[in-house]
Amino acid sequence: MTESSQLKELDKHPEKLLLEPTGEAEELQAKKRLIEAALYVAGYPLELKTLCSVAQIYSKRKVQELARSLAEEYKARNGCLEILELEDGRFVMQLKTEYVPRVRRLSIKPLLTEGPLRTLSYIAYKQPVPQAKVIDVRGPQAYEHIHRLQEMGLIGREKFGKSHLLRTTSVFSDYFGLSKELKLMKKQLEAMFTQAEKEATKRREEKTPASQG
């Protein structure tokens, strides 16, 4: 399939044969690296057309193939980074969630702390949820959390009678590679919560090894 699209590409741009005499495999490898570089630098999901322009590939399909193979490569490596293909076809590179609590303090960009993250979890799980309800459950400091989460584009706030309804945005779904379909997303979230709890317990245990010996 890759070969066929390569041929198609050459059909469309026969000048390539003259201009780029290096091996086609090497050429593709170089383009894949450009896609990787773009994803690393951006830090937000990139559309296929952006990747096309970076890698100087005219076909979205070809770029998609390359990006997917890159994602596979990352998966096989089993490192701390992952490349996700989002529902809408965009690609993003990120640090796997489980590493974040251990290294967050090194980030130059201020990251969300435990408090706002809990508020976010609650909103995600209960959405669409009235703001008043969130404040009630999470306390008055949740006003600040909501503001911050909204600023980061993770939640949306819409007028609902005299109050406001909160729900997560597509940016939120993008971060976790979650479905945009509410029911499905909640199911996915439940699984993540279970995982998160397990990891938190593990971290706590690691922090106090003496008490176990």
Partner 1 sequence: MSSRPREKPFWLRPPWQILFDLAKLYKVRPWDLNIARLLSTFLNEMRKTGYIDFAASGTALLSSSTILRLQSETIMKPEEPPETPEAKPMEPIPPALQLPFRYEFTSTTLDNLLAALEEILKIETVRKTIKVSPITPPVAEFFREYEQFTIQEDELEDFYVQLQQKLKGKATLPLSQLVKGKNRLETVRIFMILLFLASQGRIELIQEEEFGEIEIALNSELSEVDRILTT
Compute the distance between CA of residue 67 and CA of residue 117 in angstroms, rounded to an integer: 30
Are 185 and 174 within 8 A, CB to CB? no
184: Cα within 13 Å, side-chain hemisphere: 6
Q: Which of 26, 190 has the CB closer to its own copies?
A: 26
Residues between 11 and 70 with contacts to partner 1, criterion CB under 8 A: 40-44
Which range, of 12-20, 27-35, 53-61, 99-107, touches partner 1 by CB under 8 A?
A: 99-107
Angle, to 10 degrees, between the axis of helix 182-207 and the axis of helix 114-126?
A: 150
Residues between 33 and 92 with contacts to its own copies, criterion CB under 8 A: 33-34, 36-38, 40-44, 46, 50, 54, 56, 77, 79-81
192 binds, among its own copies, partner 1, none (CB under 5 to 8 A by kind): partner 1
Q: Which of 5, 8, 9, 117 binds partner 1 (CB under 8 A)?
A: 117
Distance of CA 140 to the CA centre of its chain: 30
CB-based contacts of 170, cutoff 8 Å, min separation 6: 88, 180
Q: Which of 154, 189 has the CB closer to its own copies?
A: 154
Residue 128, preceding peptide bond in cis (omega within 30° of 0): yes
108 binding its own copies? (CB under 8 A)? yes
189 binding partner 1? (CB under 8 A)? yes
The DSSP H or E segment spanning 159 is strand 155-160
Nearest to 109 by CA among 95, 128, 124: 95
Distance in Å, CB of 9 to its own copies, minimum = 15
21 binding its own copies? (CB under 8 A)? no
Angle, to 10 degrees, between the axis of helix 114-126 and the axis of helix 142-151?
A: 80
157 three-state secondary structure: strand
Q: Which of 40, 160 has the CB closer to its own copies?
A: 40
Are 46 and 38 within 8 A, CB to CB? yes
Q: Which residues bind partner 1 (CB under 8 A)?
A: 40-44, 82, 92-101, 103-104, 106-112, 114, 117-122, 124-125, 136-138, 154, 175-178, 189, 192-193, 196-197, 200
Which residues here bind its own copies, judged by CB under 8 A?
15, 18-19, 33-34, 36-38, 40-44, 46, 50, 54, 56, 77, 79-81, 95-96, 99, 102-104, 106-111, 148, 151-154, 171, 175, 206, 209, 212-213
